[in-house]
Structures are given as structure tokens and as C-alpha cells.
Amino acid sequence: MGIEIENLHFGYSEKEILNDISLTIDEGKLTCILGPNGVGKSTLMYCINKLQKLNSGKISYDGVDLATVKMKDMAKLFSFVPHAEEDVFSMSVMDTVLMGRHPHSGFSVTKEDLKIAADNIRLLGVEDLSMRSFDELSAGQHQRVMIARGLTQEPKVLMLDEPTANLDVKYQMLVMKMLRDITRLKGITVLIICHDLNVTSMFADDIILLYGGKVFAHGTSEEVLTESNVETVYGVKCKVSEIQGRPHIALLDGDYLETHISASSKDSIEGALESEEMQGPSLVTEKE
């Protein structure tokens, strides 16, 4: 069944962030949430995992209203990997991953907990880091350990807020491929907030495109990532082609974008550039 969202409204005081959101997030799929900054991507995720209380509406998982589920039991259903964490103390990778067992075992650690943690450390390919201090890791290693911790919680739904942020292209692709493989291997739902349209297109089963506090489009990458949708939602012109069976978005020249630099400033900059080109490279010699 998956996650059912019905007529969700959320906002602060008089500012509405999410307006009448209704959708189904299918079980066992890698679903990505896209949209411009400030559109409510993180807010939607926080509403789903009960970090934010709805103004109105209903969210259910497998037919059960999540409003009736206690937070301790929520932690057995949903695991959340935040965008970034402040490392306020040093802890080994193994101990960090073991924190995912807290909803099941509390502060005691059983042999089963150790096995589950070790299995997920192995699955994410960070065995050699098990005894390393968590705050000594690179950004890519850090993210893989956090995903291992999320999986050690044994959730039905793994939620990640921008897991590829601050990673280079190779690690962006590696993390997304790992998450897609985990979806298939464990049969769980993986819900991700993303920004990169092409990386999302490459790996997502479903895409939720938010705009204006609403679901602007929801479906496969072919259905959602169209030239018209990208231009409307992001305000940029693009050309969409097909590469390896998936849409690929190529952004077009941004001369149409208003930078708010005044005409006189533009003239000054262009004049300075032309002057440098005419003079050529300058040679500074020391006087004898």
C-alpha cells in the first residue's frame, strides 16, 4: 500500500507552506522529491515522519493513521537521515550505526543488534572504517555511515534529506545507486529530497515535483521532467533529450535571466574587459 497523504495543509501562522497535498507514495520504490528552494520539500518529509504537526489532513501508512501511532513505534516504521549533522562528540562508526537500534533495544546492546549493525556496515562498504572516529570521515564516508545507521533501524520507509549534497559527481551517483539497490534488496520504500534533476532522473522510480505549495507533477521521470515543467517550476529554459532510456536535462543559455546588475555596471564591466583585451598581458619589470 505505502504512504497515503490526504488533503494535507501545513503552515506557520498566516504563511501556508503546503496547500491541500494529496498523493500516494508507493511501497518498495525509490521516490524523489524535487522543487525549488523554499517550496516545502523538507516540510513535507517532516510532516510524514511527524516532526511537524499537520494543520489539517491525514497521513496513513498501510491503512493506519499515523496520528494514532506513538513516536517510539514511528521509529520502527520510519528512519530519517537528515541533511547534515553537527558532530559534537567523537564516536566510532560502529557505535554510530548501533544508535539505529535504540527504538528496538533501548540503551542495551544485544548480539542481534551487533549483527544487524555489522551487516549494514558491510552492505554500505564501510567495514574498514568500523573502528574509525565518525568525525574523521570524509563527506562521502559520512553519508554512507548515516545510511547504514538508518537501515540498522530496520524501517519500512527510509527517508533522506538531500543525501547527495556536498558530494562530488561520482559520490552523488554512488549514493543514489546504493539507495536504489537497497530499495530492491530490502523491499523498503526510500524517500529522498533531491536537487540534481539529472541524477534524480537516472535513478528514481517516481518523482514528486512540488511548486507553489502543491504537487505540480507526480510520476515517472519521463512524465515529470518535461521542458514545460522544468521551465514553469524552476524558471529556466532547457532541452530534454533521452539518454539510456531516461530524460536528460540540458540547460540553455541563461541570457534571459535578470541578474539585477544595473546597465551602467554592465557597461563598466564590459568596458574593463575590452580594455584588458586591447592592452594584452602586462609585464611588470623591476627598476634597476
Q: Which domains can be identified in the chain, with CATH numbers?
A: 3-221 (3.40.50.300)
On average, the pLDDT of the chain sits at 89
Which parts of the chain are beta strand (E)? 3-12, 15-25, 30-34, 56-61, 64-65, 78-81, 157-161, 189-193, 206-211, 214-219, 238-243, 246-251
Say what the pLDDT of residue 258 is. 76
For residues 98-110, average pLDDT: 88
Say what the pLDDT of residue 276 is. 65
197 band by pLDDT with thresholds 50, 70 and 90:
very high
For residues 218-229, average pLDDT: 97
91 burial level (CB within 10 Å; 0-12, 13-18, 19+): middle
- Checking if the pLDDT of 261 tops 90, the result is no
| Alpha carbons 248 and 251: distance in angstroms, whole number | 10
- Checking if the pLDDT of 60 tops 80, the result is yes
Retrieve residue 183's grid coordinates. Answer: 530499495
214 band by pLDDT with thresholds 50, 70 and 90:
very high
Q: Are the beta carbons of 134 and 90 closer than 8 angstroms?
A: yes
Whose grid coordinates read 547534515? 84
Residue 65 DSSP SS3: strand
User: Which of the two residues, 167 and 45, has the higher pLDDT score?
Assistant: 45
Say what the pLDDT of residue 277 is. 64
User: Which of the two residues, 272 and 133, has the higher pLDDT score?
Assistant: 133
Nearest to 133 by CA among 92, 94, 168, 78: 92
Say what the pLDDT of residue 208 is. 98
User: Which of the two residues, 232 and 139, has the higher pLDDT score?
Assistant: 232
User: Which of the two residues, 240 and 284, has the higher pLDDT score?
Assistant: 240
| Alpha carbons 65 and 122: distance in angstroms, whole number | 35
Say what the pLDDT of residue 85 is. 60
Length of the chain: 288
Say what the pLDDT of residue 107 is. 79
User: Which of the two residues, 135 and 152, has the higher pLDDT score?
Assistant: 152
- Checking if the pLDDT of 270 tops 90, the result is no
Amino acid at 288: E
Say what the pLDDT of residue 15 is. 87
| Alpha carbons 32 and 52: distance in angstroms, whole number | 20
65 band by pLDDT with thresholds 50, 70 and 90:
very high
- Checking if the pLDDT of 151 tops 50, the result is yes
Q: How many CB atoms lie under 10 A from the CB of residue 154?
A: 17
CB neighbour list of residue 38: distance below 8 Å, 6 or more residues apart: none
- Checking if the pLDDT of 22 tops 90, the result is yes
- Checking if the pLDDT of 288 tops 50, the result is no
- Checking if the pLDDT of 93 tops 60, the result is yes
Report the share of the chain in percent with pLDDT over 90. 71
CA torsion 107-111-113-114 (nearest 10°) is: 110
For residues 227-254, average pLDDT: 94
89 band by pLDDT with thresholds 50, 70 and 90:
low
Say what the pLDDT of residue 90 is. 78
Say what the pLDDT of residue 159 is. 97
